[in-house]
Amino acid sequence: MKLVNLVAVVDLEKCIGCKTCERVCPVLAIKVVDGKSQVDTERCRGCAACEQRCPVYAIRMEKRKEPILVGVDVDSVDYGKVIELCGKAKLNPEQVICFCTGTRAEEIAAAILMGAKSPEDVSFMTGARTGCKVECIQPILRLLEAADIKSVPPKGGWQWYGRTVTVWEIPEGVRRKHSSRGFYFDEDEKLLNRVKEAPLQGRR
C-alpha cells in the first residue's frame, strides 16, 4: 500500500522530447506525444524516476491536492489461491517484497488474481516498485510466472530486463564448483525455505 502524495509535472518549454522519462516510468504514466512529454496524473505513482533522469530538468514533483491511496484488498480474493501462487513463487505470503512501500507478497498475488498481467499493472495497482525500483522486480516476475503470465519488458523501455536465476534453480554442478569459492548456495536455500515456510502470523 502506498499513499501517493506527489505527481510529476512537465515544463513543456524545457522538454526536448528525448523519451527518457517514458522509458523509466514503472507504471507507464508518462509519454511523449508530438515531441513533448505528457503525464497521466491519475496513473502517476509519484516515484520521481522521471524527474531524476530528465537530462534537461524539465520535470518537477509537485504535491498532490488530494493524495491517492494505492493498494489492493487481499480479503477480496480467495486466500487459498494467494497461498498457492506464493508457494509456486517460493515466497511466504506475508513476506515484504517491496521495502520502499512495505508491500507483501500476498498483495502482489492478490493484484494478479484481480487481473494484473504485467509488472507495470502490479505497480499501478499496489504501489510496489515505485520507490527504489530495484529489489522487488524479481519477486514480482516470479509471482507473475507462477500465474503462467509471461512478462515482456515494455517496448524500448529501461524499466527492467528479465528474471534472474533463483537459488533453487542453480544446477548441482554449478553449486559444487563454486561452493568452495565463498558461495553458500545450500545455506541460502535452507534460509529462504525457512522464510517461505514460516507460519502465517496475520489475520488468517
User: Based on CB atoms, which residue is closest to ligand SF4, 99 or 168?
Assistant: 99
Which H helix or E strand runs over 10? strand 2-10
Cβ 17 to ligand SF4 shortest distance, Å: 5
Q: What is the DSSP letter of 163?
A: P
User: Based on CB atoms, which residue is closest to ligand SF4, 25 or 108?
Assistant: 25
What angle in degrees, to the nearest 10, is found between the helix axes of 137-146 and 119-126? 110
User: Based on CB atoms, which residue is closest to ligand SF4, 39 or 82?
Assistant: 39
User: Based on CB atoms, which residue is closest to ligand SF4, 7 or 113?
Assistant: 7
User: Based on CB atoms, which residue is closest to ligand SF4, 25 or 100?
Assistant: 25
What residues line the site for ligand SF4 (CB under 6 A)?
A: 8, 10, 15-21, 24-25, 27, 29-30, 32, 37, 39, 44-50, 54, 56, 58-59
The type of residue at 33 is V
Cβ 138 to ligand SF4 shortest distance, Å: 20
Cβ 38 to ligand SF4 shortest distance, Å: 9
Measured distance CA(175)–CA(42) in Å, rounded: 47
Quick count: other Cβ atoms within 10 Å of Cβ 158?
Answer: 14
Measured distance CA(27)–CA(118) in Å, rounded: 10
Residue 128's nearest CA partner among 151, 95, 166, 87 is 95
User: Based on CB atoms, which residue is closest to ligand SF4, 17 or 162?
Assistant: 17
Cβ 134 to ligand SF4 shortest distance, Å: 14
Measured distance CA(97)–CA(93) in Å, rounded: 10
Cβ 92 to ligand SF4 shortest distance, Å: 28
The answer to whether 85 and 149 are in contact (CB under 8 A) is no
Cβ 9 to ligand SF4 shortest distance, Å: 10
